[in-house]
Amino acid sequence: MNLFLIDIDGVLVESDATALHCYSQAIEDVIGIQIHTDWPQYQNVTDAGILDEVIQLHHVTANRSLIHRQVESRYLALLREHVAANSSAFTQAQGATSFVEQMQARADTHVAIATGNWATVAALKLRAAGVALDRMSLTTASDASSRTEIMALAAFRAKQDSGATFARRVFFGHHSWNKHAAQELGYDFVEVGQAKQHRHHIPNMVHFKAAFSQLALQ
């Protein structure tokens, strides 16, 4: 059996620029620090991981758990305001729903979501975009701070849910940090999007069969 792990941002859901700004704004609102948004410069590019790095870098002494709860709450509030004002803030990525439905119909495949978003944020994005979570486990930055840990935990949960041993583990994601995490774990990686920085690449999930061909999957 094969395990397909799917990221949310850029794979299942497309976000506008304002939605991406809400995270940095939430941090500034809670702890008064303007962060840089050159995301690849952070060690762990997840909601929890970036915030941990900001806390450490700026020697913030307040309780970590409290800061995380406050920033997550503010982030969620900003996103809700944005969605209420702009119905296209989050939209389904091309081919996302069709891919998930086709894979779930297969007896040789298990599908799960692994994302760097906090769980509440992930749920909001999926709901706003109209992507259903039916029969898919969700592993997020509420479970772990690093992409590697999130992917590994998602695979562990998938094994528990399915009772299967996976011959192949494939991560469909966007951005270099997903590629590095997948490589660290020995998972196959399919880059989804326009960057074309990895040899296994598709522009969106409409073209998943091209990825299957590249990976010699049926």
Shared domain for 39 and 62, answered yes or no, is: yes
Shared domain for 192 and 132, answered yes or no, is: yes
Tokens 């996976």 map to which residue? 166
Domain end: 34, 53, 85, which one? 85
Residue of 126, 36, 128, 119 whose CA lies nearest to 75: 119
Shared domain for 158 and 183, answered yes or no, is: yes
Number of folded domains that form the chain: 2
172: amino acid identity, one letter: F
Residue of 42, 40, 38 whose CA lies nearest to 51: 42
* Token representation of residue 49: 């991981």
Cα angle for residues 155, 193, 114 (degrees, 5° grid):
20
Shared domain for 106 and 6, answered yes or no, is: yes
Residue 38, H or E segment? none
**What string of pLDDT tens digits covers the 218 residues of the chain?**
999 999 999 999 999 888 889 999 999 999 999 999 999 999 999 999 999 999 999 999 999 999 999 999 999 999 999 999 998 999 999 999 999 999 999 999 999 999 999 999 999 999 999 998 888 999 999 999 999 999 999 999 999 999 999 999 999 998 899 999 999 999 999 999 987 777 888 999 999 999 999 898 87
Shared domain for 8 and 64, answered yes or no, is: no
Shared domain for 62 and 170, answered yes or no, is: no
| Helices 17-31 and 47-57, packing angle to 10 deg | 40
Shared domain for 140 and 207, answered yes or no, is: yes
List the CATH number of the domain containing 142.
Answer: 3.40.50.1000
Domain that holds residue 32: 17-85
